[in-house]
Structure 1
Amino acid sequence: MDKQKHLKTLSSQSFLIAVLFSACVNQIETEIVKESSIPINFSAGIKQAVSTRVTDAGFENGDKIGLFATLTGTSLGTERYIDNLSLEYNSILVPEKTVFYPEGNAALDFTAYYPYQQDGLQTGSTVLPISVQTDQSTAKNHSASDFLVATQNNISSSNEVVSLSFRHRLSKLKVTLVPQEGENLEEMLKSSPKIVASGFFTKADYDLISGEISNTSAAADIIASGEWTQADETLVGKEIIVIPQHADADNQSIIIEWNGGIYTCPISKIDLESNTQRVIKIAISQADHTLAGIVGEIES
């Protein structure tokens, strides 16, 4: 009987240990973190410094955002409490699975980015590869060329929504055509000149902690998005999302395909910064196949 009691006691202890370990959902290298019963809910908005989204200051239904969370004070490059969770925007942000705050007084730091990448961050890294589409003429490709980041730090467990305010991390060029003597603005509008940004890097690495963009590569031609409209005797409405980079006349230019002709406008020497847009005003005439273009100052 004593032997049977002893085996029964061991069995109960084993069951208890199994239950305790099965309750631990999140595990990082240095400690086991238990989830609480409080779910984490999110909302998202976009700061309006530069409108590169189709809907300018908001996300569209179906947009997917990637989310990381670490215990406050823990590096994103080492241990992650939430690792690249997909959030889909459908009027609200819906996570692919419900996530919970940790038990106790532990706070979380959140880092979110758009558009979502399935591979996320490599182990030990805080760097994401980013890129822009070479054909931005469709709304889908234009939106896919955007890259936005939001952070919220030291968020304690509560039933409050975690508000993610996104900032654009890329740059935008807006093109204005100024017809010269002999050119008819309405005829130009009907002919709808095609705009291509030539020689711009389309790939790079982005550090989610420092915000640094590095390893720019894959120079290519980028077809602009948008539709022409008349404004103060000019044509406006074409724009290109580009990775922040240095531009100069030796390497970058704006190419205009118009009435069967191809016109080239070299880019003046300039640094294209994150979260900014610049207007390129091009004086255009079919008599000149090399055009004069002026890159304007930064616009908010």
Structure 2
Amino acid sequence: MKSNKVFSLLLLGAVAFGSCNSEDEPLTNPLSGENQVKFQASIGASVTTRAAGTTWNAGDAIGVYALNAGQKLPDGVYDSKSNIKYTTPTEAEQGVFTAATEGITFPETGNLDFIAYYPYRESLANNVYAIDVADQSKPAAIDLLFSNNAVNQSEPAVALQFKHQLAMLVLNVSAGDGVTSLDGLTVSIEGLKTDGTFNLADGSITTGTTVKTITPVVAASGKTATVAAILVPGQDLKDAKISFKVGDQTYEWTPDAQAVETGKKYTYPSIQLSTTGVTVVQPSATIVDWVDVEIGGIVTLKPNEGEQGSWTVAELRSKFTGTEYTITEEVKVKAVVIQNKEGGNSTSLKNIVIQDETAGIAVRFVENNETLTFGDEVEISLKDQKLSAYNGLLQINNLPNANVTKTGTKTVTAKEVTAADFLAGKYESQYVAVPNVQVVAADLEKTFATDKHGSINMEFENGGQFILFTSSYAVFKNQKVPQGSGTLKGIASINQPKDGEAVYQILPTVAADVEGLTQSRFGSSTSTLEVSP
């Protein structure tokens, strides 16, 4: 028996019960017996360094598995000692971990292997640790560490050497020309996966599928700042878009291709923000507890002016006052496409319609639109582009296709509008739902269109008329118009020839937009509207 192997003594004190009888004995602390394991934990090359700072803190906890020497999880677990919680009790004993409640005791014969991880979790299904780095506010809480070096152990002091299992990105930022201070700097990282799993049995990581925006920890003071984020391995930095914002100035940067690997720290030690751009210089820092990775090359970025360099669609529309307007500012508009390419209800493949929360506008490209469709989020560069009206419809005219970048997708819900607001032209080029409407009796035998564009007269129950417009390219043009009343969805539009009267229109994006017209009909008008070709 290994009688001299006292691995842990938690001095809780002797407690006597009953009278002071010579037969009474103090209670024995179950964690202070012979062969109790005590761990000395280190991380990488430094005994006490970890993600939260340079020392372990009192109360830090690790999970420990004891295995019969030479065996693996899960079958090799010794004495049911699986995921046993060990803590470092005081600041004075940095890195010394003792059992929190139930300890691990060596067998009388035979040796043990130990594996351990940090930070401790009470329950791990199938010995798999779920990774989630979306919340970076407490780095130590997501900095996964793993130790499997302690094999064939038989001596009292068991040394666990922990290694980082995730990766770290560090950006050292400085203020350049025209930037007086980096105080208030915010940074976001888009495009990277934030989840995954870690298998304690073999030390493998599986990258997840969830993509979320990461908000790194930023420490700014005057003209310098350090930005740090923990990343899930198995990805590539080229998929990330990193945005820096100082005041109203925003810079966007996509790194060059760089695989993100376990335990490595990717440092850009000299990123300079100025009014003329960003410069990223090859790093040369030395890291103690992570494996350094030097990332070469110099990248210069032009700043995105943030709120000063972007307009809402309503702001864009306000620039037009009746005559053609040329945009001279370096400005972009962000919006969502509401033209459905598959539905085909457009008079030209060069046309799309976009909207944001404020308004909508038509877009006419130089070349056919080959990819953009309903729900695509886009960013459009507007410098040197022209606003003009065609038959009363405001449009960005002859926009180069290359000026549009798809940035994502978005669910679009039709805005329910009143007859009065619709007939006042308040929702031009927006995806709307108009209730209590029907096809006029004179048009009930028609199809939506033929080989020519079709104009179906519609009416509101409380008075007022408009046109349901369908192009000859629409995939549903040969369907018969709906016979009932109800809610019609589509893109609000206008047709107003020079010196003519405005006729308001709805363009269904797909056949489903008219499926709400199934209720009983109300009293019908006999008048119709005239639409210019």
Same fold (TM over 0.5): yes
Match of 1:38 among 5, 24, 35: 35
1: CA distance, partners of 2:86 / 2:140: 17
1: CA distance, partners of 2:253 / 2:122: 39
Report percent identity of matched pairs.
22
Match of 2:98 among 78, 86, 94: 94
Partner secondary structure for residue 230 of structure 2: strand
2: CA distance, partners of 1:256 / 1:196: 7
The corresponding residue for 2:58 is: 61
The corresponding residue for 1:129 is: 130
The corresponding residue for 1:268 is: 256
Runs of 4+ deviating beyond 6 Å:
none
Relative to structure 1, is the Cα distance of residues 136 and 51 closer, same or farther in structure 2, using a 3 angstrom cutoff?
farther
Relative to structure 1, is the Cα distance of residues 200 and 295 closer, same or farther in structure 2, using a 3 angstrom cutoff?
farther
Partner secondary structure for residue 76 of structure 2: coil
Relative to structure 1, is the Cα distance of residues 51 and 235 closer, same or farther in structure 2, using a 3 angstrom cutoff?
farther
Question: Contact (CA 8 Å) 2:169, 2:266: kept in 1 or not?
Answer: yes
TM-score (norm 1): 0.72
Q: In angstroms, what is the RMSD of aligned CA positions?
A: 2.7
Partner secondary structure for residue 103 of structure 1: coil
After superposing the two structures, state which structure 1 stretch, 36-45 or 78-87, moved more. Answer: 36-45
The corresponding residue for 2:478 is: none
The corresponding residue for 2:141 is: 144
RCO comparison, higher one (Cα < 8 Å, 6+):
1
1: CA distance, partners of 2:263 / 2:39: 23
Q: After superposition, what is the alpha-carbon deviation per residue over 1:96-137, rounded to whole angstroms, capped at 9, x for unaligned?
A: 222211122x11110000011211251xxx5322222x3424
Q: Which amino acid aligns with 1:142?
A: P
TM-score (norm 2): 0.42
Q: 1:282 and 2:287 equivalent?
A: no
Relative to structure 1, is the Cα distance of residues 296 and 84 closer, same or farther in structure 2, using a 3 angstrom cutoff?
same
Q: After superposition, what is the alpha-carbon deviation per residue over 1:250-289, rounded to whole angstroms, capped at 9, x for unaligned?
A: x31211121034321112211111221112343423455x
The corresponding residue for 1:23 is: none
Larger strand proportion of the pair: 1
Q: 1:71: how far off?
A: 0.3
Q: Which amino acid aligns with 1:103?
A: E
Q: After superposition, what is the alpha-carbon deviation per residue over 1:166-209, rounded to whole angstroms, capped at 9, x for unaligned?
A: 111111111122444x324xx223x3311222222211112334
Which consecutive residues of structure 1, in runs of 5 or more, have no partner in the other structure?
A: 1-35
Q: After superposition, what is the alpha-carbon deviation per residue over 1:202-254, rounded to whole angstroms, capped at 9, x for unaligned?
A: 11112334332113232211211241257xxx7242211111132244x3121
Aligned residues: 244
2: CA distance, partners of 1:51 / 1:43: 13
Relative to structure 1, is the Cα distance of residues 215 and 277 closer, same or farther in structure 2, using a 3 angstrom cutoff?
closer
Q: 1:188 and 2:146 equivalent?
A: no
The corresponding residue for 1:216 is: 208
2: CA distance, partners of 1:41 / 1:121: 26
Question: Contact (CA 8 Å) 1:204, 1:215: kept in 2 or not?
Answer: yes
Match of 1:171 among 164, 167, 171: 167
Match of 2:151 among 142, 150, 153: 153
The corresponding residue for 2:315 is: none
1: CA distance, partners of 2:50 / 2:215: 15
- Structure whose alpha-carbon radius of gyration is higher: 2
Q: Which amino acid aligns with 1:99?
A: I
Match of 2:123 among 119, 124, 135: 119
